[in-house]
Amino acid sequence: MKHMLLFFFLFSSVMMVQGQTKSPLENVVITSTKNKTQVHTNENGKLHINVSPADVLQFKANGLVRYRDFGAMGDGKTDDIDAIAAAHAFANQHGLLVKADEGATYYIGGKDRTSVIQTNTDFGTAAFIIDDTDVDDRNVPVFQVSSSLQTFIPEGVTSLKRNQEKIDVSLPRTCIVTVTNSQLRRYIRFGPNQNNGSPQTDIVIVDQDGHVDRNAPIIWDFDQITDITALPIDETTLTITGGRFTTVANQAESKYTYYSRGMAIRRSNVLVDGLEHRIIGEGDHGAPYGGFINISNCANVTVQNTLLTGHKTYRTIGSAGDPVSMGSYDILVNRALNISFVNCSQTNDIDDSQYWGIMGSNYCKNLIYDTCTFSRFDAHMGVANATIRNSTLGYMGINAIGSGLLTVENSTIRGRTLVNLRSDYGSTWQGEFIIRNCVFIPAGGRPVRASLIGGSNSGQHDFGYTCYMPERITIENLKIDDSNHPDNYQGSAIFANFNPKMTNDSYVEQFPYVKTREVILRNVTTTSGKELRLSDNSFMFTDVKVKTD
Contact 201, 335 (CB under 8 A): yes
Q: What are phi and psi of 444, to 5 degrees?
A: 65, 20
Contact 477, 523 (CB under 8 A): yes
Per-residue tens of pLDDT for the chain, all 549 residues: 333 333 222 222 223 333 333 333 458 999 999 889 999 998 888 999 999 999 999 999 999 999 999 999 999 999 999 999 999 999 999 999 999 999 999 999 999 999 999 999 999 999 999 999 999 999 999 999 999 999 999 999 999 999 999 999 999 999 999 999 999 999 999 999 999 999 999 999 999 999 999 999 999 999 999 999 999 999 999 999 999 999 999 999 999 999 999 999 999 999 999 999 999 999 999 999 999 999 999 999 999 999 999 999 999 999 889 999 999 999 999 999 999 999 999 999 999 999 999 999 999 999 999 999 999 999 999 999 999 999 999 999 999 999 999 999 999 999 999 999 999 999 999 999 999 999 999 999 999 999 999 999 999 999 999 999 999 999 999 999 999 888 889 999 999 999 999 999 999 999 999 999 999 999 999 999 999 999 999 999 999 999 997
Distance spanning both ends of the chain, measured CA to CA? 82
Q: Cα separation of 68 and 101, whole Å?
A: 7
Distances (CA, A) of 95 to 16, 315, 339, 465: 32, 45, 25, 47
pLDDT of residue 487: 87
**Residue boundaries of the structural domains of the chain:** 154-233, 395-549
Distances (CA, A) of 296 to 12, 15, 66, 333: 9, 8, 28, 6
Whole-model pTM? Answer: 0.94
pLDDT of residue 23: 35
Report the candidate in 435, 363, 458, 459 with the shortest Cα–Cα distance to residue 402. 363
Distances (CA, A) of 264 to 234, 289, 406: 17, 13, 27
Pairing relationship of beta strands 412-413 and 373-389 according to DSSP bridges: unpaired
How would you class 57 by CB atoms within 10 Å of its CB: exposed for 0-12, middle for 13-18, buried for 19 or more?
exposed
Distances (CA, A) of 238 to 8, 117, 125, 298, 365: 19, 9, 19, 13, 21
Neighbours of 307 (CB within 10 A): 15
Q: What are phi and psi of 69, to 5 degrees?
A: -65, -20
Report angle CA 64, 68, 69 to the nearest 5 degrees: 55
Q: Cα separation of 229 and 154, whole Å?
A: 7
* Cα 32–chain centre separation: 40
Contact 517, 545 (CB under 8 A): yes
Is 40 in a helix, a strand, or coil? strand
Report the candidate in 226, 217, 228, 227 with the shortest Cα–Cα distance to residue 161. 217
Pairing relationship of beta strands 276-280 and 323-325 according to DSSP bridges: unpaired
Distances (CA, A) of 265 to 303, 462, 536: 11, 34, 45
Q: What are phi and psi of 216, to 5 degrees?
A: -140, 70
Q: Cα separation of 340 and 500, whole Å?
A: 38
Backbone angle region of 232, left / alpha / beta, with phi > 0 → left and psi within -120 to 50 → alpha = beta
DSSP assignment of 445-506 equals GS----EEEE----S-S--SS-EE--SEEEEEEEEE---SPPTT----EEE--S-TT--STT
Neighbours of 6 (CB within 10 A): 14
Contact 331, 308 (CB under 8 A): yes
pLDDT of residue 27: 81
Q: Cα separation of 420 and 428, whole Å?
A: 10
DSSP assignment of 227-285 equals EEEEEEPPSSPEEEEEEEEEEE-----SSS--B--SEEE-SSSEEEES-EEEEE---S-
Q: Cα separation of 82 and 47, whole Å?
A: 7
